[in-house]
Amino acid sequence: MSDADVIDAEVAADDTISFSRIGYERRRPTWDDADMQDVAGRTVVVSGGTAGVGLGASTSLAALGAHVVMLGRSADRGEAAVKEVVAATGNQRVEWVRLDLSSLESVRATAAELLERLPRIHVLINNAGGMWDEWETSVDGIEMSWATNIVGPYLLTELLLDRLAESAPARIVEMTSGGAYSQRLTLGELRGEADAFDPKATYSRTKRAQIVLTELRAAELADRGIVVHVTHPGWTDSPGLRESGAMQGFIRRFESDFRTPEQGADTAVWLSSAREPGATSGLFWHDRRPRETHRVDATRETEQDRRELVELLRRLTGLA
Ligand SMILES: NC(=O)c1ccc[n+]([C@@H]2O[C@H](COP(=O)([O-])OP(=O)(O)OC[C@H]3O[C@@H](n4cnc5c(N)ncnc54)[C@H](OP(=O)(O)O)[C@@H]3O)[C@@H](O)[C@H]2O)c1
């Protein structure tokens, strides 16, 4: 076992260390950034690139010389984020494009605009997402956590797949949450069952679905030159976390050890740029190492659950 293995294993034994800034700071000196330079000049699309973890990722990728395209709902926040990233990195190839993931019409419009504007898309980071405190439905009648975290990103990814394949070698990176460990894949909310809703559990089920979709896509895209990975940022200071009603107790307890957005985004940036993850696919990463996808048998889904997820997503997005 190398020193890096020993440090990683010690940190991984306790989530309050592993997920927090303490874990990041202990592991950081064991990493080598030397192989992250190839992303220079490549086009990276980051959903939710205008705040929190996504802004951290956009800043780090721009600093590495990537052409960064941030997606989000607000033109004001988009323009401010572009200025911030350009000022921080000196990289002028930073853009913002409007996207509301909770609206299928908006997703289709954004995909069309991206295909028009970007002759190549080398990396898609499906980062935007959130937790809802109450049952709410999208303009398409879909529960908001599922609409924003899964259904919209599923459609966006499907619509960009051919461009990613044309740009191969290409990568898709999903931003899930450690909360996924607590939930099995269940689809009640996605079928419109309001009594299945619970803010944290529903959010965590969407985050479980991202891990499942990553594994399915990795198999499906293996011969198209696209690798697919999923990561979680640990506990990261962000506007979304700060504003969440359901997370206020958690914030009071752990805020002194939250990661910065750049620290939270580090593994997503590494997955987008480093050579090692370009040679594998379908893995779940935290702090630059593959991690287990389940900690207890009760969260394991069946093949039938996976099939139902994809069938439902294809029907809801009109791709069936
Ligand atoms: N922060 C954490 O500790 C933590 C922990 C585990 C997992 N995560 C995951 O990390 C990701 C980012 O989280 P965060 O805490 O950085 O979130 P955040 O602070 O809420 O930022 C969300 C970003 O997504 C965009 N966004 C929100 N709703 C959108 C929509 N409907 N359509 C398009 N863009 C939208 C926002 O831009 P606009 O407002 O301009 O649309 C913003 O850029 C999420 O997937 C989250 O589940 C975060």
CATH number of the domain at 94, please: 3.40.50.720
Looking at residue 237, its pLDDT comes to: 98
Instruction: Exactly one of 24, 154, 181, 203 is catalytic; name it.
Output: 203
Taking the C-alpha atoms of residue 232 and residue 265, their distance in angstroms, rounded to an integer, is 9
Residue 167 domain flag: yes
Q: What is the mean pLDDT of residues 137-150?
A: 98
Taking the C-alpha atoms of residue 192 and residue 220, their distance in angstroms, rounded to an integer, is 28
For a ligand 1 pocket test, name from 21, 69, 73 the mutation site with the most ligand atoms within 8 angstroms of its C-beta.
Answer: 73
The CB of 106 under 6 Å from ligand 1? The reply is no
Q: pLDDT of 87-107, one tens digit each?
A: 999 999 999 999 999 999 999
Residue 22 domain flag: no
Number of Cβ within a 10 Å radius of residue 172: 28
The CB of 241 under 6 Å from ligand 1? The reply is yes
Q: pLDDT of 184-218, one tens digit each?
A: 999 999 999 999 999 999 999 999 999 999 999 99
Distance 26 CA to ligand 1 centre (A): 26
Is the pLDDT at 183 greater than 90? The verdict is: yes
The CB of 231 under 6 Å from ligand 1? The reply is no
Question: Mean pLDDT across the chain, nearest whole number?
Answer: 97
Ligand 1, residue 147: give the atom nearest the CA: 31
The CB of 41 under 6 Å from ligand 1? The reply is no
Looking at residue 143, its pLDDT comes to: 98
Residue 15 domain flag: no
Q: pLDDT of 289-314, one tens digit each?
A: 999 999 999 999 999 999 999 999 99
The CB of 239 under 6 Å from ligand 1? The reply is yes
DSSP state of 179: G
Annotated catalytic residue 181:
no
pLDDT band at 226 (very low <50, low <70, confident <90, very high): very high
Cα 267 to Cα 83, 176, 198: the distances in Å are 24, 12, 29
Quote the Cα angle for 70-74-79, to 5°: 60
Residue 123: domain span: 31-316
Ligand 1, residue 102: give the atom nearest the CA: 31
Taking the C-alpha atoms of residue 240 and residue 258, their distance in angstroms, rounded to an integer, is 13
Residue 258 domain flag: yes
> How many domains is the chain built from?
1
Distance 257 CA to ligand 1 centre (A): 19
Is the pLDDT at 221 greater than 90? The verdict is: yes
